[in-house]
């Protein structure tokens, strides 16, 4: 397994595997035994970067979530590997009460919510320090300076290592980082957004923002990442839930536009030439991308994980990359 550095401060930056494992469904849709098998295989292959959230998966049983963090905590203790794994979790989108959701009743990003969420996640994961903490969604009911201060203090006191954000407008990220710098506090260094080979539409309404989704990597965010070498993109849902390889999994509606067929055709051509699966081509394409991308792929079986790991040994030629990039 290859590794890369996330974070710029020598005191907090970490070496992580170039492929991250998504644990969203562990402990709910994926049972404990299977989850352990996947985690064991990932660690055996040299994987060190595991992603979860404090609200995963609340929609499974109309709870507040936390099942994934709890399972990861049990696995870390049972295997004794907490010191060599990098665990990322998120806060802000945990429902305040069972039977609600992140749209109508989120915990939010007030200083009080940040403190309570960090302490809860550390307890559930069974770790003293959260290696990477993301703000999961925006909270425009709270002054940005309050959130920035609260997050920075968690790093200063040692309960959090690195800070990241997800599903925020690019201007909000830059404003938060500017506030952090002005206050002499740590700021966001890792951005987690949806990124895959297919290109989405950006005008499809999002539950919190009718003007369009803030979860995809668009031109503004891509430009921001290109311009700042201190930032890393963790790309969630790179395989779009199996849509590249399963006939029963249609391409999501925000990818339904005239450019998609040409991209899919190019992808399948390259997969046929290399003898790899389309999923492996997508992950290899991301790993060699000009953007600093760490693909974040989930798995519901060891076989799915092994397919993803196979992308690490797939080398696309410059001509194949050019062809993939040019399709539109």
The enclosing domain of 53 has a CATH number of 3.20.20.100
Q: Please tell me what DSSP assigns to residue 117.
A: H
Structural domain boundaries enclosing 92:
3-254+290-316
Residue 206: per-residue pLDDT: 73
Task: Assess if residue 185 is contained within a domain.
Answer: yes
Task: Assess if residue 267 is contained within a domain.
Answer: no
pTM: 0.97
Ordered DSSP codes for 260-322:
HHHHHHHHHHHHHHHT--HHHHHHHHHHT-SS-EEEEEE-SSHHHHHHHHGGGG----HHHHH
Low-confidence ranges of the chain (pLDDT < 50): none
Among 68, 92, 117, smallest CA distance to 208 is for 92
Task: Assess if residue 273 is contained within a domain.
Answer: no
**How many domains, in total, are found in the chain?**
1
Check the CA dihedral 217-218-219-223 and report its sign. Answer: negative
Residue with tokens 């990932």: 42
Task: Assess if residue 219 is contained within a domain.
Answer: yes
Task: Assess if residue 40 is contained within a domain.
Answer: yes
- Active-site residue identified among 29, 56, 134, 244: 56
Strands 49-51 and 86-91: parallel
As a whole number of angstroms, the distance between CA 111 and CA 93 comes to 14
Residue 236 is a catalytic residue: no
CB 128 within 8 A of CB 157: no
Task: Assess if residue 26 is contained within a domain.
Answer: yes
Task: Assess if residue 28 is contained within a domain.
Answer: yes
Q: What pLDDT digit, counting tens, does each position of 205-248 carry?
A: 777 677 778 899 999 999 999 999 999 999 999 999 999 999 89
Contacts of 107 (CB under 8 A, 6+ apart): 91, 92, 93, 94, 95, 96, 113, 116, 117
Task: Assess if residue 328 is contained within a domain.
Answer: no
Q: Give 325: exposed, middle or buried? Use CB within 10 Å, 0-12, 13-18, 19+.
A: middle
Tokens of 67: 């099942």
Tokens of 96: 């305040």
Residue 240: per-residue pLDDT: 96
CB 95 within 8 A of CB 106: yes
Q: Give 296: exposed, middle or buried? Use CB within 10 Å, 0-12, 13-18, 19+.
A: buried
As a whole number of angstroms, the distance between CA 269 and CA 323 comes to 10
Residue 128: per-residue pLDDT: 97
Residue 205: per-residue pLDDT: 78
Q: Give 16: exposed, middle or buried? Use CB within 10 Å, 0-12, 13-18, 19+.
A: buried
């Amino acid at each position: 397994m290859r590794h890369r550095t996330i974070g710029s401060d020598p005191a907090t930056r970490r070496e992580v595997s170039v492929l991250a494992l998504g644990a969203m469904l562990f402990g709910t849709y994926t049972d404990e035994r299977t989850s352990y098998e996947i985690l064991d295989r990932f660690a055996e292959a040299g994987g060190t970067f595991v992603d979860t959230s404090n609200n995963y998966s609340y929609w499974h049983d109309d709870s507040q979530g936390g099942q994934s963090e709890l399972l990861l905590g049990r696995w870390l203790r049972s295997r004794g590997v907490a010191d060599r794994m990098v665990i990322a979790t998120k806060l802000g989108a945990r429902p305040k009460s069972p039977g609600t959701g992140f749209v109508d009743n989120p915990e939010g990003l007030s200083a009080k919510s940040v403190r309570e969420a960090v302490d809860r996640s550390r307890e559930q994961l069974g770790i003293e320090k959260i290696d990477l903490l993301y703000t999961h969604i925006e909270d425009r009911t709270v002054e940005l300076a309050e959130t920035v201060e609260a997050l920075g203090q968690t790093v200063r006191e040692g309960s959090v290592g690195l800070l990241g954000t997800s599903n925020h407008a690019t201007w909000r990220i830059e404003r938060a980082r500017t506030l952090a710098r002005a206050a002499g506090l740590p700021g966001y260094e890792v951005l987690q957004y949806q990124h895959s080979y297919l290109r989405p539409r950006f005008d499809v309404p999002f539950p919190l923002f009718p003007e369009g989704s803030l979860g995809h990597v668009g031109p503004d965010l891509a430009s921001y990442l290109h311009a700042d070498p201190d930032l890393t993109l963790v790309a969630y849902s790179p395989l779009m839930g199996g849509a590249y390889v399963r006939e029963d999994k249609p391409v999501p509606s925000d990818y339904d536009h005239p450019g998609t067929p040409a991209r899919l055709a190019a992808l399948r051509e390259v997969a046929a030439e290399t003898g790899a699966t389309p999923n492996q081509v997508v992950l290899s394409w991301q790993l060699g991308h000009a953007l600093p991308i760490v693909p974040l792929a989930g798995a519901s079986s060891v076989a799915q994980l092994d397919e993803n790991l196979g992308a690490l040994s797939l080398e696309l030629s410059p001509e194949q990359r050019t062809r993939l990039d040019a399709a539109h």
